[in-house]
Amino acid sequence: MVFKFLSLFLIMIPAMNLFSQQDTLVDVFPLAVGNQWTYHYSSSYDDYLGEYYSSQRGTAIYTIISKTNENDSTRWKIKEYRDVLVCGGLYYPSHGDTCFPSVDSTIFDLIELHDYRHQLYRIGYEYWIWNSVFPFTKEFSDTTKVFRYMPVDSGDTIKYQTRRSQTTCYNYLLTFKKDLGLLAIDCSFLCAGANATTEHRLTSAVINSIEEENNSLKGFSLAENYPNPFNSATMIQYHIPQRSFIILDLFDLLGRRVRTIYEGTQEAGSHQVSLSMVNLPSGIYYYRLVANNFVSSKKLVYLK
C-alpha cells in the first residue's frame, strides 16, 4: 500500500509541475482577407564554384486577397510584392558590382489544415521559395512544422529553429507574435559550393481580423477540467454566448485525435460534459473546443 502511494506520488510530481506551465494555444498567425505584412528584406548569395556573388535589399509585402473553405482545410490566396535593389558581380575577373532595381509580384496558396493546431504550409518547391517569408512546405525542413495556434512566452512570442537534415540545405529561425504573425525569419543556405543568407524583419502590419474577431468571440470560454489530475473520469465545462455548432475533441501529446468527446449544435449558455478515460493509457492529453471561429485548448493529466 505504501509502495503504491509512493509510486503514485512520484508520478504526480512531474505531471503536476508540467501542468502548471503555460499550455494555452493562441493565434500567432492571424489570417483574414485584407491582412497585410510589410518586411524589410535583405539577402546575400555566394557561389564559389560559379565564382559570382549577389545581394538584394528592399521591401517585401504580403497581402491576403481571398479565402476558400474546403472540407478539412482553408486555402488562403496571398499576393507577394517585392521592390528591391539587386547587386552582384564576378570574383574573377572582378569588374565591380552591377546594381539594378527589381520589382516583381506573385500569387500563391497558403493551406491551413483544420487539425489540432492548424498546420500551415505553402504549396511549392522549397528551392524556389526559400528566400520568402512563407518558405514552409508541407514537409518543412526536417519535419519541423509551422502551426497557426501555438503556446507563447511571457512576451507573447514564440521562437524556434528548424534543423538542417541530410536531405535539405536550408536552416530557418522563425519568430512569431500573438495576434500579429511572423516578426522575423532568418534563413541560411549551405550546399554544393554555395552559401546564402536572408533576413526578413516586420516593419508594419494591417491585421483586420483581431478587433472584429475578438468582439464576435466575446463570451466564449473553455474552463480547466476538474478534477485534474484524475484517475477515471473528469468534467469539462465551457460557455458559448450564442447558439453554435461545437466540436470538443481529445488529442494525445503527438497531436493525434484520440476521440471526439462531443459534436453537435448547442444553445447559448454554460455546458459541461463528462469524460471517461478508462480504456486509455495514463498520460498527458489535450482537449480542444471549436465553436464558430473560437478555438481553445487545455491540458489534462490522466493517472490510472
Residue-range domain boundaries for the chain:
30-207, 217-302
Neighbours of 277 (CB within 10 A): 21
How high is the mean pLDDT of the chain?
Answer: 80
Residue 212 has a pLDDT of 43
Give exposure, 19-55, as e/b (b: 16+ Cβ within 10 Å).
beeeeebbbbbbbeeebbbbbebebbbbeeeeeebbb
Residue 304: closest CA among 285, 283, 287, 286: 283
Assessment of whether the complete model's pTM goes beyond 0.85:
no
Chain segment 160-181, per-residue pLDDT in tens: 887 655 555 778 889 999 889 9
Q: Which three cell numbers stand for residue 168?
A: 535539405
Closest CA to 107 of 78, 133, 138: 78
Separation CA 119–CA 260 (nearest Å): 19
CATH number of 217-302: 2.60.40.1930
* Residue pLDDT, tens place only, 76-88: 999 999 999 999 8
Question: How far is the C-alpha of 228 from the C-alpha of 16, rounded, in Å?
Answer: 9
Residue 48: which region, alpha, beta or left (left: phi > 0; alpha: psi -120 to 50)?
A: alpha
Rounded CA separation 143/255 (Å):
14
Q: What is the pLDDT of residue 4?
A: 40
- Model confidence at 199, in pLDDT bands (50, 70, 90)? very high
CA distance 164 to 166: 7
